[in-house]
Amino acid sequence: MDFETYKNQLLEYVTKYKNWWCEPYEQFHKDNKKDYKDTFSMIEDLDNYHGLVNKFRTSLQKQYDLPEEIYGFLDTSYDVYIKVTHEQREEIRGIIRDSYHVSQPHFMEDLLMSYVDERARKKLRDTGDKIWLLRGLIAISMENCGTDFRDTLTQLVYLYIAAEEKSMNPEEEFQAIAKLSSHEEPRGGTEPMSKLMAFTRDSAYYRERTKSFSKR
């Protein structure tokens, strides 16, 4: 797939996902919004609200599973991100960064993180195929720490550990995609994605997670 075809398809999916998820969610949120007297009452009801959101999303997917369609696009087009120029990768990241809706300001970043969590890491564990490690890393690079670096680092660490659990050494892939990632300070943190990804294994969170796993 050439870059222009890829870019146009990505832009089309941004618009489709906004219409499929963000617009309906905005109305759903208004219909289910509550006024809380205190923080405790809000926290107490949060799990119930998340359950309603999940049911609402499932009902949309039963009608038309757009996330699955977009996941398929990410599956088949991952290598475009590797082959294009530095400027074109910046353009791809810009499309994700600039996707906005008032009810879901970072809806494309959220979708990419869901892809890593629900698709790439699961497939990596199921198959032991490094192609899923690459796909996950590319999705994270595209997301570019757009919301919160802690969420991004969590996904990086979990992906690293998932690869290690399949007797892989994922360092080569992490370093390769880190070089293709942004070297600029991201919206959701202070460390560039290139550095965050390159030093995943050196992070305190990686040490903390592997330590907790070793105690099981």
Task: Indicate the burial class of 151 (C-beta count within 10 angstroms; 0-12, 13-18, 19 or more).
Answer: middle
* Structure tokens, 163: 């690869």
The answer to whether residue 50 is domain-embedded is no
* Residue 213 binned pLDDT confidence (cut-offs 50, 70, 90): low
Domain residue limits at 130: 3-33+65-214
pLDDT confidence of residue 46: 63
pLDDT confidence of residue 34: 62
The answer to whether residue 82 is domain-embedded is yes
- Tens of pLDDT along 186-210? 999 999 999 999 999 999 889 888 8
d(C-alpha 27, C-alpha 149), whole Å: 29
Q: Collect all residues with Cβ–Cβ distance below 8 Å to 73 and sequence separation of at least 6.
A: 9, 10, 13
pLDDT confidence of residue 155: 96
How many CA atoms, within 13 angstroms, populate the side-chain half-sphere of residue 137? 31
pTM, rounded to two decimals: 0.91
The answer to whether residue 59 is domain-embedded is no
pLDDT confidence of residue 211: 74
How many structural domains is the chain composed of? 1
pLDDT confidence of residue 111: 97
**Share above pLDDT 70 across residues of the chain, in percent, rounded to a whole number:** 91
End-to-end alpha-carbon separation of the chain, Å? 45
Whole-number Cα distances in Å, 63 to 20, 67, 73: 10, 12, 19
Helix axes 204-214, 149-165, angle to 10 degrees: 40
Residue at 38: amino acid letter: D
The answer to whether residue 100 is domain-embedded is yes
Where is pLDDT greater, at 60 or 29? 60
The answer to whether residue 196 is domain-embedded is yes
Collapsing DSSP to helix, strand or coil, 191 comes out as coil
pLDDT confidence of residue 47: 66
Question: Residue 36: pLDDT above 90?
Answer: no
Question: Residue 215: pLDDT above 50?
Answer: no
The answer to whether residue 94 is domain-embedded is yes
The answer to whether residue 104 is domain-embedded is yes
pLDDT confidence of residue 210: 82
Which 8-state DSSP code applies to residue 188?
T
